[in-house]
Amino acid sequence: MDRLQILGGIPLDGEVRISGAKNAALPILAATLLVDGLVRVGNVPHLQDVTTTNELLGRMGVSVTINERMGVEVDASSIREFVAPYDLVKTMRASILVLGPLLARFGRADVSLPGGCAIGARPVNIHVTGLQQMGADIKIENGYIKARASRLKGARLVLDTVTVTGTENLMMAATLASGTTVLENAAREPEVVDLANFLNTMGAKISGHGTDTITIEGVESLHGGSYEVLPDRIEAGTYLLAGAITRGRVMVKNVIPGHLDAVIAKLREAGGTVTLGDSTIAIDMRGRRPLSVDIRTAPYPAFPTDMQAQFAALNTIADGVGTVTETIFENRFMHMLEMRRLGAEIRLEGNTAIIRGVPQLTAAPVMATDLRASASLVLAGLVAEGRTEIERIYHIDRGYEALEEKMQSLGARIKRIPD
């Protein structure tokens, strides 16, 4: 397995272009299953999770063409199978996103039930219950969700918990249902909005996306078209943190600054001078040590769980004591234990980590446990004295396009060591 080697201590300085958002590209690719005709999706990031999604579609018989300039072209008319098999779902939970589209368009879906996950239990009960309320017959058999329906019927669904992929699955299913569906307590994440915009471009009738009540008027069919995926706010946030933690100066380009309000507020609290452009965000630490910040994760527009680990890394070397409280996932603190190996002073109390900033971390071998945990270890490695080696970096390749190249372009001394 490849490793990453980082020589810490260099303030980052430069500009970096942000890729398309993983968590928008994955549902949009799944949503192509709903479309009658050819779909072109642009600004799709080159990531392992995108490759897995393309493979999943390909195995169903869907035609997927990757064109460097135009993006990904998908035509689902050749579909033969309606199965998301265990061997793919176990590597990527987002495979569950094909459940709603397959059921709505083809009346059947066999999707392997995702198992445990490194960050929490992550059940999919809300996806299943919602589809049942729309008239689907669903059984769990041999580790698979086996769903059948003639035509789904619109319904008023009140979601128990705010769930991103749950909202997406039900919204996709409702586009082809008969009648109107109302999703209450829906997720408001920009990626949900992007998916709704994609579906509307293809002829769906969705309104209220971006609020907690989404209304979907079912239509007979969706038509082909082109769409560009929105920029990745978590990738952007991660590079801004790389600037902050190294006391450097980083500008992220091709972003939607309004999607990072909660993150920008915390960067300012940490002592960064943050400047916003139409599609850029710049942070300048003016060589100063960051100040500790308190973080509490919650659904959008509050502070994102996907930026929690990166801010934990910042707090490890910041001036003061900062707390990090995780309210979305039960077990998203594995990186804290690895950061202790770099000399961080972290005390865990339930879902809160109390981090006392130290003047200096020291390099050590560490292990990546999930995508955002890996990103936080890279950030810690950028400031640790000596050479930090991160193992199991396949997690990073799932969600950060060309991480080493982008970090190198900012001056980081980081390299991949192939096995």
Q: Should residue 161 be labelled a site residue for ligand EPU when binding is judged by CB under 6 A? A: yes
Q: How far is CA 186 from CA 79, 179, 207, 277, in A?
A: 30, 19, 12, 30
244 by DSSP, 3-state: which?
Answer: helix
* Residue with Cβ nearer ligand EPU (122 or 148): 122
Residue 309's nearest CA partner among 373, 399, 241, 397 is 373
Among 20, 154, 166, 243, binds ligand EPU (CB under 6 A): 166
The answer to whether residue 358 is catalytic is no
In the region spanning residues 88 to 107, those forming contacts with ligand EPU, defined by CB under 6 A, are 94
Residues 325, 296: Cα–Cα separation, whole Å = 5
Q: How far is the CB of 419 from ligand EPU (least distance, A)?
A: 24
* Residue with Cβ nearer ligand EPU (130 or 248): 130
Q: How far is the CB of 126 from ligand EPU (least distance, A)?
A: 3
Among 58, 115, 123, 143, binds ligand EPU (CB under 6 A): 123
Which tokens go with 298? 């919650």
Give the chain's radius of gyration (CA, Å).
21
Among 52, 95, 163, 238, binds ligand EPU (CB under 6 A): 163
Using the structure block, give the residue that is written with the tokens 């642009």: 42
In the region spanning residues 313 to 372, those forming contacts with ligand EPU, defined by CB under 6 A, are 328-329, 371-372
Name the active-site residue from 117, 121, 276, 417: 117
Which tokens go with 171? 């919204």
Cβ proximity of 48 and 400 under 8 Å: no
Q: How far is the CB of 78 from ligand EPU (least distance, A)?
A: 26
Q: Should residue 207 be labelled a site residue for ligand EPU when binding is judged by CB under 6 A? A: no
Which amino acid, residue 43? N
In the region spanning residues 18 to 77, those forming contacts with ligand EPU, defined by CB under 6 A, are 23, 26
Bridge partners for 384 per DSSP: none
* Residue with Cβ nearer ligand EPU (22 or 105): 22
Residue 281's nearest CA partner among 294, 295, 302, 267 is 267
Q: How far is the CB of 22 from ligand EPU (least distance, A)?
A: 6
Helix and strand totals (H; E) in the chain: 14, 24
Q: Should residue 125 be labelled a site residue for ligand EPU when binding is judged by CB under 6 A? A: yes
* Residue with Cβ nearer ligand EPU (33 or 363): 33
* Residue with Cβ nearer ligand EPU (257 or 399): 399
Residues 9, 225: Cα–Cα separation, whole Å = 48
Among 39, 41, 98, 124, binds ligand EPU (CB under 6 A): 124
* Residue with Cβ nearer ligand EPU (121 or 276): 121
List the 3-7 sheet strands across, edge first: 365-367, 387-391, 3-7, 413-417
* Residue with Cβ nearer ligand EPU (306 or 338): 306
Q: Should residue 247 be labelled a site residue for ligand EPU when binding is judged by CB under 6 A? A: no
Q: Should residue 165 be labelled a site residue for ligand EPU when binding is judged by CB under 6 A? A: yes
Which tokens go with 259? 């999607």
List the 205-207 sheet strands across, edge first: 156-158, 180-184, 213-217, 205-207
Instruction: Please choose, out of 142-150, 163-171, 308-316, 335-343, the segment that lies near ligand EPU by the rule CB under 6 A.
Output: 163-171
Using the structure block, give the residue that is written with the tokens 């950030």: 379
Cβ proximity of 176 and 105 under 8 Å: yes
User: Catalytic residue numbers?
Assistant: 117
The contact set with ligand EPU (CB under 6 A) reads 23, 26, 94, 120-127, 161, 163-166, 305-306, 328-329, 371-372, 399
